[in-house]
Amino acid sequence: MKEEYRQKLLKGNEWIDGTDKFGLTLTDDLDSLLSCAILKQIKGWNIESAFIFNDNKVHEKDKQKLDCYYKIADTDNEQIGVDFAKAQGKCFDNHLTQFTYHEEINPQAINLNRVQNIYREKYCKKYNLSTVLLLWSLYDLPKEKLTDELMMLLIAIDSSDAGFYTDKRWVGIHEYWINEVLDLPELLEFERSHTKEDFNKFKRELGLVKGRSKIWVEDKKLCTDIDLEAVNEILWWNTDIEIKLPEVDFYRNGIYKDNIVNIQGFPSSIKSICDNPFSYAMTSKYAVAVSEQVM
């Protein structure tokens, strides 16, 4: 990551380079899991909690989705959200949460949209890459002489490739974030030498398609349909990073209403929409996903 942007993220958040011990809050996909693995490798932090979206597996529009927060029994560590936009507290994420130019949002969010003052009216200019790439760049992980498979994986996660294989008028935004901010020109050149279908084929082969590659809790254990072995085989060509799920028990610690709310008018902050948000992120200029605790 270019130094000026790293310094912006570091300001007031020296903990990202410190030695304090924290736990990690995993969410329900590969972007979060690989991000946790990066933090485990670099910082020695372990997954100690999990926030599972739509834990009750509701798909009907007229039924209430519920998110659940799970935690291991034997930890007093402060928990850092990973690919998880917390309203308050430490987190690494790639979401857009700022409604207005002057709004003060979570200062402990390691989020490029926050430090670049990207707000709702600039939705189309938001950081459109993964949390994995944010961390890969932040902690200066290898970017030269990577295998094609690893570059494909890094770009495919959270559909970061979508910002490049799109209408030409939007490609410059993607190029700005990946090249000018993250300082990953090798990945940009890789995109230029490949096609959207190359990425789609890779995603199909690895199971990185909508509705799959999820993480959930069953009988107190973290479970997944992500092909951990296949992902690790790709990672191990160039890194010592390993993705795996902890085998300890996770206990339900909170239940949250999960709603997509249409944004009416020009709200000044999330508090105009939800009194007590735990996590939220805009899904478009006109909608926001909100998790609000009920138990």
pLDDT at 205 over 80: yes
Least confident of 54-63, 116-125, 273-282: 54-63
What is the distance between the terminal CA atoms of the chain, rounded to a whole angstrom? 40
CA contacts within 13 A on the Cβ side of 95: 28
The model's pLDDT over 55-112, given as tens digits with 9 standing for 90+, comes to 999 888 779 999 999 999 999 999 999 999 999 999 999 999 999 999 999 999 999 9
pLDDT at 23 over 80: yes
Burial 169-203 (b: 16+ CB within 10 A, else e): eeeebbbebbbebbbbeebbebbeebeeebbeebb
Backbone phi, psi, residue 63, to 5°? -115, 150
pLDDT at 212 over 90: no
| Residue located via tokens 């304090």 | 20
Distance CA(73)–CA(22), nearest Å, equals 15
Least confident of 32-36, 133-137, 209-213, 250-254: 209-213
Helix (H, G, I), strand (E, B) or coil at 238: coil
Distance CA(237)–CA(232), nearest Å, equals 9
pLDDT above 70 as % of the chain: 100
Name the band, by pLDDT with cuts 50, 70 and 90, for residue 48.
Answer: very high
Mean of per-residue pLDDT scores for the chain: 97
The pLDDT assigned to 59 comes to: 80
Look at strands 91-92 and 79-82 and give their pairing. Answer: parallel
Distance CA(157)–CA(37), nearest Å, equals 14
Look at strands 277-284 and 287-293 and give their pairing. Answer: antiparallel
Distance CA(25)–CA(91), nearest Å, equals 9
pLDDT at 265 over 80: yes
Distance CA(96)–CA(109), nearest Å, equals 11
pLDDT at 172 over 80: yes
* Burial class of residue 214 in the structure, from the number of CB atoms within 10 Å of its CB (0-12 exposed, 13-18 middle, 19+ buried): middle
pLDDT at 254 over 90: yes
Give the H or E element holding residue 227.
Answer: none
pLDDT at 186 over 90: yes
State mean pLDDT over 36-54: 98
Name the band, by pLDDT with cuts 50, 70 and 90, for residue 209.
Answer: confident
Beta strands per DSSP E along 41-83: 46-52, 65-71, 79-82
The pLDDT assigned to 35 comes to: 99
The pLDDT assigned to 58 comes to: 83
- pTM for the whole structure: 0.97
Domain boundaries, the chain: 3-293
State mean pLDDT over 3-16: 98
